[in-house]
Amino acid sequence: MFACGCYSPSPLEGLACSETDRCPAGQSCDPAFGECVSFPRCVPGSIVDGFDAVVPAVDACQPWGVVFGTADVEVRDGALTITPTSIPGSYGGCDSDIDHPTPFGDRGIFVEVPTLMPTGHNLASFSLDGGQVRASLSTLQGRLRLTDVTTEVVASAPYDPVAMRWWRLRPDRKAERTIAEYAADGYHWSRLGEADGRPESVIIELAAGLDQNAVLDGIPAVTRFDHLDVCPPR
């Protein structure tokens, strides 16, 4: 008489957890779903853009948004590229449809930022505007910053272009706050800080430009955004 079975050395995923709970070895608590997982889940949301159109649209922000500002905004080489003019204060990017805000679901909204202008007086930002509640991740003067609806900086850290390549804003429904996080790979997130409030729906903005004190030496550099609300590659 023989008996057989399957041996799986890896613990099962999906155990309920909170951010302070311990998960089995090799797993962590996915804060968006409250489950222990080897890699956080990723489910594309209502706005998905890998900026990989074969034929770029006349408006680089279509179909989910519109171009604004004085910078040159286009889809090029698989990314959204934003190049300001040589005039201090030049700024622009993409805004999503103000008449149809995007649901701000539990897993949040995130974007890859593979290339930034030098972070002296050059600004790059990823913002979610919920009216009375606004949260924005941005770089300025060598720091990654979280600002709220008052435009006050509520958290910041020295900007590391490798460790902070991915930016995410997500809701904390229990605390009624918006959490800002960064990651090197789009999966393993570190918390930067949190802003007051948690909107139900938001207007998405991706933007870059120069502040009024910028002194240019040559042609302005390009900021590139990629993988807006798209599951990042493993």
Q: What is the pLDDT of residue 7?
A: 36
CA angle 81, 89, 159 (to 5 degrees): 60
Number of other residues whose CB lies within 10 A of the CB of residue 232: 16
Q: What is the pLDDT of residue 80?
A: 94
Q: What is the pLDDT of residue 44?
A: 75
- CB-based contacts of 233, cutoff 8 Å, min separation 6: 186
* Positive or negative: CA dihedral 94, 95, 101, 103: positive
What are the tokens at 157?
A: 């850290």
Nearest by Cα to 101 from 66, 126, 125, 131: 131
Q: Which domains are delineated in the chain?
A: 10-41 (no CATH), 44-226 (2.60.120.200)
How far is 5 from 22, CA to CA, in rounded Å? 29
CA dist 230 to 60, 86, 103, 127, 189, Å?
Answer: 17, 32, 15, 16, 15
How far is 75 from 52, CA to CA, in rounded Å? 8
Cα-Cα-Cα-Cα torsion 20, 23, 25, 28, nearest 10 degrees, comes to -70
How far is 119 from 157, CA to CA, in rounded Å? 13
Q: What is the pLDDT of residue 8?
A: 45
Please give the average pLDDT of every successive group of 10 residues along the chain, which has 234 residues: 48 72 81 74 80 72 92 92 86 93 90 79 89 92 91 94 94 92 90 94 94 66 89 66
